[in-house]
Amino acid sequence: MAPVWSIVVAAGSGERFGGPKQYAPLGSRRVVDWSIGVARRVSDGVVLVVPSARVADSEPVDAVVAGGDTRSQSVRCGLAAVPDEAAIIIVHDAARPLASDKLWHAVVDAVRNGADAAVPVVPVADSLREVGAGPVDRARFVAVQTPQAFRAVALRAAHAEEPEATDDAALIDAAGGFVVTVDGEAANRKITTPDDVEMLGVLLS
């Protein structure tokens, strides 16, 4: 089958957390190690993107590279280390340690079935207001997660002009590509503040 590679982005500074949250302990290992674990089970190769001071500090992966100043730049640092043989590339935030293997497989399957990109989404629980405007209909919106899977050619093309976005599927949309959504997972929360690690710890135990 077409080779699948993963890029795990872990090069952020965790400003809102108060430090690099990807290295915080969660259960028996660090947050980043959970993300590497599922990436290794699901893909043929894994590229880990880390802060430059951490390049020597990783569970075994196929390549460890230093990231950039923004998430999009870090994804591009990872992309440069993914071999051309990769037909499907998954991009995952290290800060989402509890995405299931099933979810990773679901996004890959959607790309195998013809999508340029596949992105997990979950309903929004809170009511929503547009800043400076007013209430909006929550039913029209979903929240976007990772892992996101891509046809490798589409992901490389979307990043060619070095655009910025908070996720990669948005770049495929901007390029007019075919983006498919799959059901995300409530437990697949992104760690943002220390409370989030505590909550995921409870979910684990």
Q: How far is the CB of 108 from ligand CTP (least distance, A)?
A: 20
DSSP 98: T
Among residues 149, 136, 142, 108, which one has the least CA distance to residue 124?
A: 142
* 46 sits in which H/E element: strand 45-50
Of 9, 38, 47, 171, the one binding ligand CTP (CB under 6 A) is 9
Among residues 82, 62, 95, 101, which one has the least CA distance to residue 159?
A: 82
Task: Report residue 162 as tokens.
Answer: 């070095």
**63 with 49: CB under 8 angstroms?**
no
Count Cβ atoms within 10 A of the Cβ of residue 43 and give its class: 0-12 exposed, 13-18 middle, 19 or more buried: buried
Binding mask 158-197 for ligand CTP (x = CB under 6 A): --------------------------------x-------
14 binds ligand CTP (CB under 6 A): yes
Residue nearest to ligand CTP (CB): 12
Binding mask 21-50 for ligand CTP (x = CB under 6 A): -x--------------------------x-
105 binds ligand CTP (CB under 6 A): no
**111 with 151: CB under 8 angstroms?**
yes
**89 with 148: CB under 8 angstroms?**
no
Cα-Cα end-to-end distance for the chain: 36
97 binds ligand CTP (CB under 6 A): no
Of 1, 56, 60, 69, the one binding ligand CTP (CB under 6 A) is 69
11 binds ligand CTP (CB under 6 A): yes
**62 with 52: CB under 8 angstroms?**
no
Q: How far is the CB of 203 from ligand CTP (least distance, A)?
A: 18
Of 5, 91, 93, 158, the one binding ligand CTP (CB under 6 A) is 93
CB of 3 or CB of 194, closer to ligand CTP:
194
Q: How far is the CB of 134 from ligand CTP (least distance, A)?
A: 28
Binding-site ranges for ligand CTP (CB under 6 A): 9-17, 22, 49, 67-71, 74, 93-95, 190
